[in-house]
Amino acid sequence: MAEPSTKEDTPPGWPGQLWLEGRTLVHLQEEQERPSHMPRGPAKRTGVGFLNPAMAPARTRSVLLLADALEHGWLVKQDRSLRALDALCATGVRIRRWRNEIPSDLQHRLRITGNDLDEFALSWAKASHALHPPQTDVDHKPEDDRHGQPSTAVFDNGLHFQRLDARMAMVDAAYQWVDLDPFGSPIQFLDAALQSLSRTGVLEVTATDTAALTGSSPSSQARRYQAKGLVDEYAHDDAVRLLLGTVATTAARLDKVVTPLLALFDGHHVRISLLVKTSKSEATNIRNSIGWRVRCDDVPYKFVQHPAPEQLIRASGPMWTGPMWHSEIAGRMTVERALKLCHPDLEEIEHHRANGLVWNEEDIEHSAREVKRGVRYISEAADLMGREHLLLSLDALPRLAGVGGAPKMEKLLEALNESGHAAARYPDLEPMLVTDAPFDAVIQAVQNAQPSTE
Ligand SMILES: C[S@@+](CC[C@H](N)C(=O)[O-])C[C@H]1O[C@@H](n2cnc3c(N)ncnc32)[C@H](O)[C@@H]1O
């Protein structure tokens, strides 16, 4: 498709300013502040047509996960195509990154649809994609597999854009990959998304209603998630588990069972990725993975299926209590892989500069750091996050161990590893660690790490 050529083709405000996310050129609204690197919170100004730079790490992980599914054949066989939908694609950055950054040899198997209700956002998505088509060498074939019938869908440089209510878009066709990234809570889209998935599919969900998920807004939490929270050092983990539990129980009602692949609290949002399969018997068993976190006196917490009445005051739930990640898949989400797929080389940067990108050396270095930040600590923690583990806040350890100060994270992990246990840093803004060591062994290691007073 050619770049917008007539005034009618040009979106209002076009072209704005050029920015690079991952290896993909994006157009930002002129009035949007140039993203600072490492943004943490929500964008200062949000709304239709504004790109939230704080979501860049989540989009990087999405590129890596989809590439992993294609490469390792855990979703569809390695010679089959995969239909992916970004149901609320806004200005299309995620789908453009999928098309641009997933390796060339996998691209021909991808059928990508971007949907949004907002015409303005879509016009920017289309114009950006037309002006900066994918750099991968792809033969983009029109999709011909919807409902087994030839489709009239038109693919522009490998992306199909449509403007529907997301729920209609998801009812309209079956996908093996659905991304839900709404403003606020995803609740209203969950049913349709799960029904839209093929017998085996991946659902990725973002939720920015963290006050409800953590329990800092108890009324919204009760209303939206039928849950009760406790705002302590486990609030972030509880929020992730609550969203996992909500999707798991919604799926079970539809005879589907979920396997979490990756689930994170990332600054101001929760992002979960799940494999979803149709299986009545396994869906029935999902109740074994739903329970409550009860804070205790002898250990920081334990999971129970139903808290006793006297435990309720120190309990949060109901939530997902099963494994939170797929160890093997998350284990492949390394810094090296992220840089390989999502960080441009100098030749690409020069090409982009020639196309109008105003970036200096510092921008390039910061963008590499940003790509690394998206996957930091994930592969190291993947094994533990895929099985039973204990989650501990470094800052709470001095209180729990009755000592004056917290040890350094690295030293504590080293000590636990040396005593034969697995231990890793948990990817959270707060210093948290996961381990398979019994709580007593951690306390011992913290006490041993105290400087001698003699
Ligand atoms: C948070 S933004 C999506 C961001 C995008 N996924 C990205 O990575 O840049 C939410 C989008 O949902 C769209 N939206 C809200 N309600 C919708 C609905 N019912 N159907 C389709 N799109 C909707 C908005 O227009 C907005 O573009």
Domain termination residue (choose one: 329, 345, 366): 329
- The whole-angstrom separation of Cα 412 and Cα 383 is 18
Listed residues 313, 329, 345: the one ending a domain: 329
pLDDT in tens, the chain (454 residues): 344 445 556 888 899 999 999 999 999 888 887 776 555 555 555 566 778 888 999 999 999 999 999 999 999 999 899 999 999 999 999 999 999 999 999 999 999 999 999 999 999 999 999 999 997 766 655 554 444 444 556 677 899 999 999 999 999 899 999 999 999 999 999 999 999 999 999 999 999 999 999 999 999 999 999 999 999 999 999 999 999 999 999 999 999 999 999 999 998 899 999 999 999 999 999 999 999 999 999 999 999 999 999 999 999 999 999 999 999 999 999 999 999 999 999 999 999 999 899 999 999 999 999 999 999 999 999 999 999 999 999 999 999 999 998 899 999 999 999 999 999 999 998 999 999 999 999 999 999 987 755 5
Residues linked to residue 83 through DSSP beta bridges, in sequence order? 111
Domain termination site, one of 329, 354, 378: 329
Q: What span, in angstroms and rounded, lies between the C-alpha atoms of 90 and 314?
A: 41
Is 291 a member of any domain? no
Pocket of ligand 1 from Cβ distances under 6 Å: 48, 51, 55, 59, 86, 88-91, 93-94, 116-118, 121, 165-166, 181-183
Cα 297 to ligand 1 centroid, rounded to whole Å: 45
What one-character-per-residue DSSP string does 111-133 give? EEEEE-S-HHHHHHHHHHHHHS-
Ligand 1 atom nearest the C-alpha of 55 is: 8
Count: domains in the chain: 2
Q: Which residues, in sequence order, are CB contacts of 93 under 8 Å at separation 6+?
A: 21, 24, 26, 51, 59
Closest residue to atom 4 of ligand 1, CA basis = 90
Q: Which domain holds residue 399?
A: 389-448
Amino acid at position 317, single letter: G
Nearest residue to 201 via CA among 179, 169, 182: 179
The verdict on residue 240 lying in a domain is: no
From CA 109, how far away is CA 76, in angstroms rounded?
Answer: 10
Is 190 a domain residue?
A: yes
pTM of the model: 0.94
Calculate how far, in angstroms, residue 168's C-alpha sits from the geometric centre of ligand 1: 14
How far is it, in rounded angstroms, from Cα 18 to Cα 128? 10
Q: Which of 101, 117, 120 to mutate to test the pocket of ligand 1 (most atoms within 8 A of CB)?
A: 117
